[in-house]
Each structure stands twice: as structure tokens, then as C-alpha cells.
Structure 1
Amino acid sequence: MSLRNLPHADPGVPDTRSGFRFLLWLGRNQVRGQVLAMFWFTLYTGALAGVPALVGLGVQAAVDGSGSRIVVAGCLTLALGAVIAVSDSLGHWAAVTNWITAATRVQQLLARKAAELGSVLTRRVAAGEVVAVSTGDVEKIGWFVEALARFAAAVLACVGLVVALLVFQPVLGLAVAVALPVLTLAVLPLLPPAQRRADDQREKAGRATELAADTVAGLRVLRGIGGEDLFLRRYRDASQEVRAAAVRSARMWSLIAAIQVALPGLFLVGVVWYGVRLASDGRISVGDLVTAYGCIAYLLLPLRMFEEIAMAWTFSRTSATRAARVLSLRRDTEVDVADGVPEVEAFAGGDLVDPTSGLTVPAGSFTAVVCGDPDTAGRLADRLGGHSPDGAGAASPLLGGVALDRVPLETARTAVLVQDKDPVLLSGTLRDLLDVPSSGAVTPQAALAAAECADVLSVLARTLPGPDAGAAAGERDAMGARLTERGRSLSGGQRQRLALARSLVVDPPVLVLDEPTSAVDAHTEARIARGLRTLREGRTTVVFTSSPLLLGLAERVVFVPEGEVVAAGRHQDLLRTHRGYRSVVTRVEDTASDDHTRSPRETA
């Protein structure tokens, strides 16, 4: 496959039953590339194996004093050198192409899985593990794919050379035929402990990566409480554990490499000693001795290739197992999509119903949901978007009478957009941030205004370089300002408002917001509430919050403590009639009797 065709139009459906099956599936998808690489490497190794014969021919010609034979041997060696150079270059090109093609396929599969699972992915697999799989593990899988063709070519070269020696010098050929498997398998008992050490290194590296990611994500908080030194020590300790594990792994592989050099070297010394005796007895010529020595010395190259494929297999099998485990994750309620799935417009205008909690959101309404427990709110918000974090026991929400797990994931997410309480801002310009698939009904300017981002635009405008640097902040186009990774140069409230503006630009039929104003002050929150209500007029909007400012503007408020609806109505009415609701919203424990508490689902 040409690198021009990357990324793959469709990376395919991987076999994730085991790491070995996953590697086998990757190999089947690159048969043509592997055959091409094996052809060039076979030509390369065959040409290298032919060099000792030509050298022996030249030496014997010199001993015999034949100038014409020396010229012939020189010309043939020159031609063989050209073949070696061309085949080595093309073989390397084909092997690297296989590496990049396989790595790209795995990365595309991982990216597709991350998009499919969304926030559910990091609930099932640690974030550091996901990062390690998509970086180091992908590289090791690609390494094995790249080395496979060279290993196959080395096997063919060894077999061909042994057959030639058996014909040329039966005694030496027989010795090599017996010794070669022994030399190859000599390190086999060392591979399991080497793999265990490699696994230990990989596990410690994953934990260190996760710790680093958590530390960077919480850097503002750490600085606020003076915890930088504590976490620095923790990361330093984790890093030293990784270093120690890497040293232990390297020692084992160094021992394997030493054995792969020492044993063939001793064997070569023995063969040369025997060959010298044959030459001194006149049983073989000097040229034959040089040829035999060159052929056996050449075998050191394939033996090193056997060592490399053993290392590649050891590392890649573990990496493939981890990648297969991530790729095998599924939505818990995922089922085969039924025929005749309606378009988004056919059901997105209906009521949103969650059978598990009893929550019903009327179409086109601005509904606020009060849970009291942030974790309960987060799980319910995800479930409303079809992410199903609660497992297979949670019934799928219905939108317009259609179960969200009965439609393709892309369709469900087009109909329902969920913004969680900790949204991520990708690096790039503000224009890039707001350049998202949308209905086109809401402009970026309108969304930024509704989310009260005027001060954010002013801050970003001042970061613009170039000729505009001396202009007043109001005269610069803040849309061209760049956001740092995850928007870390902004405050929590500023990041939250930009994320809200991005969600408003999309203008989905159903928008679910989980605590969209938790990091802003009361005055800003009041303006956001009014802007949100106005901009989303006639569109279904669900806001998980306990803020009186948002609750007061909601057309309908639903109280869902313990994950089940117990009351619904207007904010002021619930404050007067429901003690539990009043306690959550006012954050004051109410011990008075409450004769108006309603039974579960009575007023949903």
C-alpha cells in the first residue's frame, strides 16, 4: 500500500479475541505489502549470501594466477553489490511502509473507538493506559509487522545456504544444518523472563503516564494548595521505577544478545579450525576454505534477525493484547441496528424519556434537573445521550418513541449533544474551536454572546501577535487567537463558557448540559441563563444544575435524588412544597414536616 493512501478510508473491523488474533488480522490486511518486502529482502539476503562464493572464486583465481578469472570475479562482485544496494533500499522502503500502514490502521481503530465510547472509555480504562496504547504499543505492533518480512527472508536465506553447503561441502553443511537450530533455540528459555520484565516495564510506564496526565490536568489546583513538590516527588518516584524496570529488561535482552553473538562465534571458530585442517591436508582448496568461512560468517546476520523477531514478538504480543482489549470495548446496550432506522428529523422533535429514572423532558422545553449528587447527575446526563455508563441493566432512553440504542451512534449523537461538567477544549484558534458540525442556525458570534464570552474574547485578543499587537483589544479579531492545550491558559469559568458557546453553535435538537455555569460568578450566571433560554427557544434543552438562577428561568424543574424522579414542577412551587428539593437547592437542612412530598414518579 502506498503511503499516499493513508489514512485508510476504512480501517476495518479487527479481530479482538486475543492479541495473537489481532496481529494475524493486521497481517491479513497487509499481505501484498509483506510479500513485496519479503521479495526485496530475499533478493538482498540471497545476494549477500553469494558474496562469499565470489570472494572465494577471486582468491582461488589469485592463487592460480588467472587474471581473466580475477576480472570475472571482480565484475560479478560489482554487479552483486549493485543488486545488494538496490534491494536493501527498496526492502527498507517496503518494510517501513508496512510499519506505518499498520500503525496508522491501529491508531485509526483506537480513535474510532474513543469517538464511539466517549467519556465511557476512561471509566473502563485508565487515561494513562489509553495514552500508552495509542503511542508506545502502536509503535511496538508496527515494529513486529515491519520485522516479519525480514525474518521470513532470513529463514529462506538460511535454508538456501545450508542446502548449498551440503552440496558444496557435505561435512561442513551437515555441521551447519545441525548447529543452526541449536543456536537459534539456545535463547528460547530466556524469552519468558524477558517478556515478564518487559510487561513490568510497560505497566510501570503506563502508571507514570497516568500520574503525569493527572498532575498536569490539576496543576492549577496543585499550585493553589502548594502541592507541586508532593506530586513532583511522586512522579519522580514513578519515573525511577520505570527506569529500574527498563534497566532490568535491558539486562535480560543484553544477555540474549550476548548469547546470540558468543555461540555462533564459537561455532565459527570451530568450523574454521576444521576447514584449515581440510585445506592443509589438500582435501579442499584455499578458495573453498574462504567460501565456507564467508558463508558461515554470513549466517550471523540471519541469527541476529532471529533475535530481533523474538524481541519484536515478545513486545508486540503484549501490546497487541492491550490494544485488542481497548478495541473490544462496546457500549453495554449496543445491539444490532434494526432495518429502516428513521432519520434524525423523524424522531428528534419528540419527548426525551429515560425509563430508568422516570425522567420525561417535553419536546421544545427548557427543563432543569436537580439531582443533589454530582455523580448521579453525570451518569444520568450521559445516559440521556445514549452513552449508557450504568451498564446493561439501564434501559435505553427514548427520543420521540425511538430507543437511542436502536439507532447508529452517529445518529444518536446528532440528535442529542451532551456537554459534561468538565468539557475539553482542543488546542488551536478560537475559530477552529467553533468550527464544528452544526445546523447553521446559530452563528459563532451569537453563541459567544449567549455564553457571556466578551471578557474571554478580550483576553484572547490581547494574545494576538504581529501588527495587531499594538491595537486596542476591541479592534482585534479574537477568532484568530490560539488556545493552549485544553485551554489551560484560561480560568475555569472562561473555559466553561467557551465550551458552552461551542455546544450552542452546534444547535442540536436536544442539548444536555451538566453544570454549565458551576465555575462562574452569580452575575455572569444570571446573564448566561437568560441568553441560554433565549437562544434555545423552541429547542429541547436539559440543564443539570442546583443554581436558583437557572432553576428560576426553567419552564419545568425535575427533582431526581437517588437516580429516580420524585417531583416535578416550577422552581418556586417546589421550594414551597418539597422539603428534599428545598434542602438541595438552598443547601440548608430542612427538618420541618413536609406533607407535600410526592411519591416517586407521581408528578414526572
Structure 2
Amino acid sequence: MQIQDLPFPDPGVPDARSGPRFLWWLFRNQTGGQLKSLAWGLLHFAAVSALPFCVGIAVQAVVDRSGTRLALAGGLMALCCAANAVGDTFLHRAAITNWITAAARVQQLLARKAALLGSALTRRVAAGEVVAVSTGDVEKIGWFVEAVSRFTAAALTIVLVCVSLLVYQPALGVVVIVGLPVLALAVLPLLPRATRRADVQREKAGRATELASDTVAGLRVLRGIGGEELFLDRYRRASQEVRHAAVRSARMWSLIAAIQVLLPGLLLIAVVWHGVHLAREGRIGVGELVTVYSSVMLLTYPLRHFEEIAMAYSFSRPSAKRAARVLSLERATDTGGSRAAEVPSGDLYDPATGLLAPAGRLTAVVCGDPDAAGRLAERLGGHASEEGTSALLGGVPLDELPLDCARTAVLVQDKDPVLLSGTLRELLDVPASGGVSTADALAAAQCEDVLAALVQGSLGAEDPMDARITERGRSLSGGQRQRLALARSLLTDPEVLVLDEPTSAVDSHTEARIAQGVRELRAGRTTVVFTSSPLLLDRADRVVFLHEGEVAAVGGHRELLRTEPRYRAVVTRETEDEAAPAHDGGHGADRVREVMKDLKELEEIEERA
């Protein structure tokens, strides 16, 4: 796999049972790239390690006044330098390719999992953790996967040099063979503590990221209540904790790095001291001493990879653990689909509550518990409940359909839909049936003033479709964001559209026009709206009232106002005691008359408009 071939056609099925297993799975899926990196690494390290032998031959040739051997040494040095240049260049290319492809594979796996789980992902894993995994963690994972082959090449080179020194000069070779394992293993007792400190740093950084994400998401609300300074102070404290943890972690790693410099220096001193004594006794030549000295000095370069692989693993292990945790999450439904990939049609039915939404009609659902309404909306979108029950469309369980087929059949717009940054044209560039035009969708959602605001807020944009929307639409009001999200949902024109509180941030006059626009645009299509707004309820073909997780009443909005006190309590924001039956002639009857009067006034306003 080359970088230009990314993304992967299929990133594969990861082994997400644990962090180390996930790292091993990534390594196995890059066998070709790892072998290529290993080969170029061996060439590079072998060429570097061979230079001292060439220098030793040259020095001894000068001492012996041998021009032939000096020329031979010069040729060997030129060959080693050329091999070093080629090996280093292609090793770097292979290493970067392995790093990027490993990170890209993880990112594709995470993106696929996010698309599979949908809104359930952030309920099962903190948003800050998802951000940390998809940004910094993928780089750390790619770093370790890439470093394994370079470390292997360095370790094999060290073994080769030690054997060569033992054969070339046994008296000094023994010193090197005894000393090098000490150098490689000396930092092992410090690694657990360094790893723990790095884990603490990343944990605190993750919490700070979550806090920053929450603060940015709620910035508009914080400004409204004057809470910016409070959350800013909380983030400052969290940031300082991250800084202190990073300093403690850096101290440990600097100690490990210092040991990696100190011990090779001591070994070098020992080799020189022993070699000088051997040279004085005439047991070795000057060239041999120079060769061993240069070899030990250059061995500090591949030895550095022992420190790097330890650091890479300590940083990547918790990152891989977090990634494996996200990738191990499963959707409660049959993602492959046990039925044919055909979009069913017919009534939408939820067995858990008894909700029935007839095909081709606008059904409004009133539920006093927002959390229960959200769970019901998810089931209608194809996510099975904790008990394993799933909604049925035309008698077909949605969790038995392939995921793409289920999402084509039913579209759920969340209570807080997300607007991605970009132009309005890009925002509305969504899969659609083609039966609804962009202009009709924007008109039904009453987006005229939103378009004007976008043009006014975007410099140089005369066409509203070319106007830019900031991240999450923060430059727009809550009502404007809701209307653009509604227009996007209407444009897709799905078989079944489920809207969760689509007009909660819209004024009553605009809400009434949206209700009429949605009703007209979705004529003949199944639409389910979760709302307690009298304006939307009055436009529905039928209203379903849920109480304590079950259907308690079905009928028209005005009929339920008169006959169902619990329904009236939810819609009119009264207590159940105040919502006395209308036929009792009490306060409940007065409230019903007030609501009817308000509805009639709005109808008159619409007619005049």
C-alpha cells in the first residue's frame, strides 16, 4: 500500500479485544511495508556500522605504508557511504509510509464505527475521548507500528556488529558484548514509572479536552448566564494539571535519555582504556583499536532505537487501548442485514410503546419525558432498544435490514442537529430522492430570513448558496440553525422522516408556517414529529400521546385537549391538578378555550399573510 492509494478500499476487521492485540493486528496488516522498512533499515545500519572497519583498515594501511590496502579502504568507504545514503533515504520513505498508512487505517476504522453507531457513540464514549482517539492517538499508534521495523533492523545490526567485533578482535569484542546488553536493559526498571506518568498526563489531557469541548459547545449559553469566567477558570486549572503532569513525565524521559548517553560513554571509556593496554603490549594494532573504538561510538546510534521503541510503546499502548474500546462497540442491530436490501414501505410501528404511524400521514407524538422521546426516536431510526426490540416498517423489523437500507428508509433528525462548516450548497449536498428541490425545502422550512442573514454575514457572497456557515453554525441563532437542519432533512425526501422537536427555538408565527409547509411538502409521505407545540399538533393528521412509556391516547389535537387531562397538562404546561377535565367546567375548560382562541388567531394571521 502506497500513500497515493489511500484510503483503503476496506480497512479490515480489527482485533479490538485489547490495546496490544490491536497494535499487533495493525502490524500484521502492514507486513509488506514492514519488511520493506526492515530491509532498507538493515542496509542503512549495516553501512553505518561498516564504516569503522573501513577506517581501521585505512589507519593500519597508513601505519604499514600499504598503498593497495589504503586504496581498498577508500573504495570500501565510498561504497558504504553510497549504501548509507540509499538506505537512509528509502528507510525514511518506507517509515513515513508505514506511519501514515497505519494512522489512516485507524482513522478509517473510527470513521466507519462512528457512521455505524451514529448518535449512540457519544452516549457510550465521552466526546472528548472520541476527539482524542481520532486526532492525537492515531499518530501515536502509527508511530509505534512504524518504529517496530526500524527497531528490529537496529537490534539485528547490533548483534551483527558484536559478532563481527568478537571475530575481528576477541579481546575487545568480549568487552563490547558484555557491555551492550547492560546498555540496552539499563533503562527497563525506569520504563514502568515513565509509562505511568505518561498515562497520567494523557488522562489529564483527555479531561481537559472534554472540558474544552463542552465549554465551546455551550459558549452561547455560558455567555447568556455570565458563566464564561467560571468555566475559563476550570479550564485553566485543568490546563495547569496537564502541564505539571507533562513536566513530571518529561523529567523521567530525560533521565532515561541521559542514561542512554552516559552508559555508552562509560563503555567507550572502558574499551579505550583496555585497548590502549592491549596496544602497549603489542596484542592489537592501532588500526584494530581505532576500528573497535569507532564501532562502539557508532553503536550509540542504533542503541537509541531501544529508547525510542520503549517510548513509542508507552505512548501508543493507552492510545491503542482507547481506540480498541471505541472499535469494540457494537450496534445493537443486525448491521449486515438478514433480509434483502429492499426499502420496505407501510406503517411504522414500535412494539415497545404501541406507537403506530400510518403510511403517508403526518403523526405527532407527545411525550412528557424528553429522554423517553429520544429513545423512541432512535428505535424508529433502526436502533434496537436495550431489551432488543426494534421498530417495524411495513411489518419488517428495521434491525433485520442492512444498515444503509434502514437509513434510506428512515431518517431521524435529532433534537440538536449539527451543521458542518462550509457553504450552504455543501450543507445541502446530501443524498436525496430528487423529488424535493432545494428551493422547496428551504421555503417549507421558512429559511428566507436565514438566507438573507447568510448573505449579509459572508463577504463577497451574492448567492446565498455560496454563503459560508461557521463551525456548527454558531454564527446563526438557534432557530436559524433548526430551520436549516429541517430544510436539509426535507431535501432528502426519505420514505419515513422522524423529527425530534424541530421548532423548539422558533417563534410561534414562523412555527405555524413551518407546520403548514412540512405538511404540504410531505404529503403522501410518512412523517413523525415529536413535539408539544400546539401549532404543530394542530396540523397533524393524528396525535399520539405517550404516558409512562406506552400509548395512552390517540386522536386529533383539539379532541385530546378536551378529553385527556394528562395530554392537556403536557401541551399547556399545566400541572395535572390544574388540567381538570374540560366537561367539569373548571379551569381546564378555560385553558382549552384559551388554546383554541390562540390557534384561531394564528390561522387568521396566516390567511392575511
CA offset at residue 184 of structure 1? Answer: 1.1
How many pairs are equivalent?
582
User: What letter corresponds to residue 431 of structure 2 in structure 1?
Assistant: P
Query: Of residues 501, 520, 523 in structure 1, which corresponds to 2:506?
Result: 520
User: What letter corresponds to residue 112 of structure 2 in structure 1?
Assistant: R
Listed one character per residue, the Cα deviations across residues 401-432 of structure 1 (whole Å, up to 9, x for unaligned) are: 11111111111111110001100001111000
| Equivalent residue number for residue 371 of structure 2 | 375
Secondary structure in 2 aligned to 1:15?
Answer: coil
CA offset at residue 563 of structure 1? Answer: 2.0
| Equivalent residue number for residue 355 of structure 1 | 351
Query: Of residues 429, 432, 439 in structure 2, which corresponds to 1:438?
Result: 432
Query: Of residues 424, 427, 445 in structure 2, which corresponds to 1:451?
Result: 445
| Equivalent residue number for residue 193 of structure 1 | 193
Listed one character per residue, the Cα deviations across residues 344-396 of structure 1 (whole Å, up to 9, x for unaligned) are: 1xx1x2111111111111111100000012212111111110134x42x1411
Distance in 2 (alpha carbons) for counterparts of 1:145 and 1:87: 20
Secondary structure in 1 aligned to 2:15?
Answer: coil
Distance in 2 (alpha carbons) for counterparts of 1:41 and 1:156: 10
User: What letter corresponds to residue 129 of structure 1 in structure 2?
Assistant: E
CA offset at residue 336 of structure 1? Answer: 6.1
Taking only the aligned residue pairs, the percentage that are identical comes to 68
Listed one character per residue, the Cα deviations across residues 110-132 of structure 1 (whole Å, up to 9, x for unaligned) are: 01101111110000000000000
CA offset at residue 557 of structure 1? Answer: 0.5
| Equivalent residue number for residue 419 of structure 1 | 413
User: What letter corresponds to residue 414 of structure 2 in structure 1?
Assistant: D
Distance in 1 (alpha carbons) for counterparts of 2:546 and 2:528: 13
Distance in 2 (alpha carbons) for counterparts of 1:74 and 1:262: 33
| Equivalent residue number for residue 303 of structure 1 | 303
| Equivalent residue number for residue 380 of structure 2 | 384
Distance in 1 (alpha carbons) for counterparts of 2:286 and 2:173: 17
Distance in 2 (alpha carbons) for counterparts of 1:595 and 1:487: 44
| Equivalent residue number for residue 535 of structure 1 | 521
Secondary structure in 1 aligned to 2:356?
Answer: strand
Secondary structure in 2 aligned to 1:568?
Answer: strand
Distance in 1 (alpha carbons) for counterparts of 2:383 and 2:246: 39
Gaps of 5+ in 2: 584-609
Distance in 2 (alpha carbons) for counterparts of 1:148 and 1:21: 15
| Equivalent residue number for residue 396 of structure 1 | 390
| Equivalent residue number for residue 471 of structure 2 | 485
CA offset at residue 465 of structure 1? Answer: 3.0
The correspondence of residues 239-388 of structure 1 with structure 2, limited to 5 A, is 239-334=239-334, 337-338=337-338, 340-344=339-343, 347=344, 349-388=345-384
Q: Is the 8 A contact 2:482 2:505 kept in 1?
A: yes
| Alignment partner of 1:549 is 2:500 | no
User: What letter corresponds to residue 27 of structure 1 in structure 2?
Assistant: F
TM-score normalised over the length of structure 2: 0.93
TM-score normalised over the length of structure 1: 0.94
CA offset at residue 79 of structure 1? Answer: 2.3
Distance in 2 (alpha carbons) for counterparts of 1:334 and 1:174: 64
Distance in 2 (alpha carbons) for counterparts of 1:126 and 1:145: 26
Q: Is the 8 A contact 1:56 1:288 kept in 2?
A: yes
Distance in 2 (alpha carbons) for counterparts of 1:93 and 1:215: 41
Q: Is the 8 A contact 2:562 2:581 kept in 1?
A: no
Distance in 1 (alpha carbons) for counterparts of 2:30 and 2:335: 30
Q: Is the 8 A contact 1:386 1:404 kept in 2?
A: yes
| Alignment partner of 1:180 is 2:180 | yes
Q: Is the 8 A contact 1:118 1:387 kept in 2?
A: no
| Equivalent residue number for residue 422 of structure 2 | 428
Secondary structure in 2 aligned to 1:33?
Answer: helix
Q: Is the 8 A contact 2:349 2:393 kept in 1?
A: yes
User: What letter corresponds to residue 547 of structure 1 in structure 2?
Assistant: S
| Equivalent residue number for residue 599 of structure 1 | none
Listed one character per residue, the Cα deviations across residues 451-501 of structure 1 (whole Å, up to 9, x for unaligned) are: 0000010011123434x6xxxxxxx31000111111111111101100000
User: What letter corresponds to residue 343 of structure 1 in structure 2?
Assistant: E
- Stretch deviating more after TM superposition (378-387 or 114-123): 378-387
| Equivalent residue number for residue 589 of structure 2 | none
User: What letter corresponds to residue 504 of structure 2 in structure 1?
Assistant: S
Distance in 2 (alpha carbons) for counterparts of 1:557 and 1:4: 55
Q: Is the 8 A contact 2:335 2:403 kept in 1?
A: no
- Stretch deviating more after TM superposition (18-27 or 73-82): 73-82
Distance in 2 (alpha carbons) for counterparts of 1:171 and 1:541: 88
Secondary structure in 1 aligned to 2:457?
Answer: coil
Distance in 2 (alpha carbons) for counterparts of 1:486 and 1:321: 30
Distance in 2 (alpha carbons) for counterparts of 1:117 and 1:48: 51
Distance in 2 (alpha carbons) for counterparts of 1:317 and 1:493: 44
In structure 2, do the counterparts of structure 1 residues 492 and 544 end up closer, same or farther at CA, with 3 Å as the change threshold? same
